[in-house]
Amino acid sequence: MKYLVTGAAGFVGSNLCTRLLSDAANTVVGVDAFRDYYDPALKERNVRGLLAQPNFSLVRGDICSLNLDELLQGVDVVFHEAGQPGVRSSWGNSFSTYTHDNIEATQLLLEAVTRMDRALSRFVYASSSSVYGDAERYPTDESDRPGPKSPYGVTKLAAEHLCSLYAQAYSVPVVSLRYFTVYGPGQRPDMAFTKFLTAATEGTEIQIYGDGSQVREFTFISDIVEANIRSSYMDVPAGCVINLSGGSAVSVKEVIDEIRSMVERDLRVSFGAPVVGDVYRTGGSTERARKYLEWEPQVDIASGLRLQYGWVREARGI
Ligand code: UGA
């Protein structure tokens, strides 16, 4: 099978490529724009091992300006993991980056898929729990009304709608996966766990936005990768949207307690104002994921945090 993975140098994309390449019969073409939203050197580190593999090739560039017809030649499955992340940083003048990378890129990719001279077997879109905003109920069902609370969430939802539209109009075999706060080794440096664990390792201050009572259903990276793989070959109706929520709904304060007991020392923690755009709570029903993907999260928060802590220490040579 030949796979196209966009965002191949990112946290989810690079882990997905590694998993796909563990089967020697697979060929993977990765695409990444190496944007400087965070240190691009970290992305170079993510692809170092991949580049050493004969079945992997990397195309550096912006989806909106690459020759997508060429990129899609012979491809069986597209995993569209690329996007401009960052809930809290999507306010202000950077919004055009979000519309360009999240909406326009997705539309151009879907459009290119409709021009393919062979049928794609799956187009997996990496959506986000941020499309829900403060949800109507918990656990939140995929049919509950979305109401993003950040410009980022608006762009993820718009791209998801484009996916469903292309599924209806052109039978593109899309599945949109709503990721709930992904964590684990390789997590982006702007996300909570990497920041907290780095501060805990270096003895610097952990800054909590608000009083720490906000709740997230954190989802471990290997569970996300597994769901992507299953989405590529299991029987899911085109245009279907599926929650991937990790089964560990915990507050940020509880995460800090867990880290404190794990590192066995006191932490320096400060509490600031809540940040606009942050939802108070996420928590998704996994019923649909169970039905279509026979998927359930396997890694609990304590084990997952421990694995991420090991990675943070290793990166610092500890
Ligand atoms: C994450 C990702 O960044 C988004 O790309 C993704 O779409 C989203 O999950 C999602 O699942 O929809 P977020 O939940 O904000 O967004 O993830 P973290 O950065 O790990 O933050 C988790 C919680 O920790 C938030 O409530 C945040 O306010 C808090 N936090 C984060 C702090 O208190 N301090 C920090 O320094 C960082």
User: Measuring from atom 33 of ligand 1, which residue has the nearest CA?
Assistant: 208
Residues 247, 284: contact at Cβ < 8 Å?
no
> Mean pLDDT over residues 242-250, rounded?
93
Instruction: Using the atom order of ligand 1, give the atom closest to the CA of residue 152.
Output: 7
In 3D, which of 275, 278, 274 has the Cα closest to residue 149?
A: 278
User: Residue 140 gets which letter from DSSP?
Assistant: B
Instruction: Using the atom order of ligand 1, give the atom closest to the CA of residue 131.
Output: 12
pLDDT in the model for residue 232: 98
Q: How far is the CA of 191 from the centre of ligand 1 (A)?
A: 6
User: Residue 9 gets which letter from DSSP?
Assistant: T
Local confidence band at 248 (pLDDT 50, 70, 90 cut-offs):
confident
Collapsed DSSP state (helix, strand, coil) of residue 218: strand
> Mean pLDDT over residues 134-161, rounded?
97
Catalytic residue among 152, 166, 179, 183: 152
> Mean pLDDT over residues 140-145, rounded?
98
Q: What is the pLDDT of residues 56-99, one digit of tens each?
A: 999 999 999 999 999 999 999 999 999 999 999 999 999 999 99
Q: How far is the CA of 173 from the centre of ligand 1 (A)?
A: 30
pLDDT in the model for residue 316: 87
Mutate to test the pocket of ligand 1, among 134, 191, 208 (most ligand atoms within 8 A of CB): 191
Q: What is the pLDDT of residues 252-265, one digit of tens each?
A: 999 999 999 999 88
pLDDT in the model for residue 264: 87
- Determine how many CB atoms are found less than 10 A away from the CB of residue 162: 22
Instruction: Using the atom order of ligand 1, give the atom closest to the CA of residue 206.
Output: 36
Per the prediction, the chain carries an average pLDDT of 97
Instruction: Using the atom order of ligand 1, give the atom closest to the CA of residue 179.
Output: 11
pLDDT at 139 over 90: yes
Q: How far is the CA of 100 from the centre of ligand 1 (A)?
A: 22
pLDDT in the model for residue 318: 86
Q: What is the pLDDT of residues 5-48, one digit of tens each?
A: 999 999 999 999 999 999 999 999 999 999 999 999 999 999 99
Q: What is the pLDDT of residues 264-310, one digit of tens each?
A: 889 999 999 999 999 999 999 999 999 999 999 999 999 999 999 99
Contacts 24+ apart (CB under 8 A), 47-52: 47/8, 47/9, 47/14, 47/17, 49/18, 50/8, 50/14, 50/17, 50/18, 50/21
The count of residues in the chain is 318
Q: How far is the CA of 162 from the centre of ligand 1 (A)?
A: 25
- Catalytic residue list contains 37: no
In 3D, which of 169, 178, 10 has the Cα closest to residue 101?
A: 10
User: Measuring from atom 26 of ligand 1, which residue has the nearest CA?
Assistant: 214
pLDDT at 195 over 90: yes
Instruction: Report how many helices (DSSP H) and strands (DSSP E) the chain contains, helices first.
Output: 11, 12
pTM attached to this predicted model: 0.98
Local confidence band at 105 (pLDDT 50, 70, 90 cut-offs):
very high
pLDDT in the model for residue 247: 87
pLDDT in the model for residue 236: 98
Phi first, then psi: give them for residue 297, nearest 5 degrees. Answer: -60, 140
User: Measuring from atom 7 of ligand 1, which residue has the nearest CA?
Assistant: 128
Mutate to test the pocket of ligand 1, among 12, 149, 181 (most ligand atoms within 8 A of CB): 181
Q: What is the pLDDT of residues 168-188, one digit of tens each?
A: 999 999 999 999 999 999 999
Q: How far is the CA of 58 from the centre of ligand 1 (A)?
A: 29
User: Measuring from atom 30 of ligand 1, which residue has the nearest CA?
Assistant: 192
Q: How far is the CA of 167 from the centre of ligand 1 (A)?
A: 30
Q: Which residues line ligand 1 (CB under 6 A)?
A: 85, 87, 128-130, 179-181, 191-192, 195, 207-209, 214, 216, 252, 275, 278
User: Measuring from atom 32 of ligand 1, which residue has the nearest CA?
Assistant: 208
DSSP 272-292: EPPPTT--SB--B--HHHHHH
Q: How far is the CA of 245 from the centre of ligand 1 (A)?
A: 14
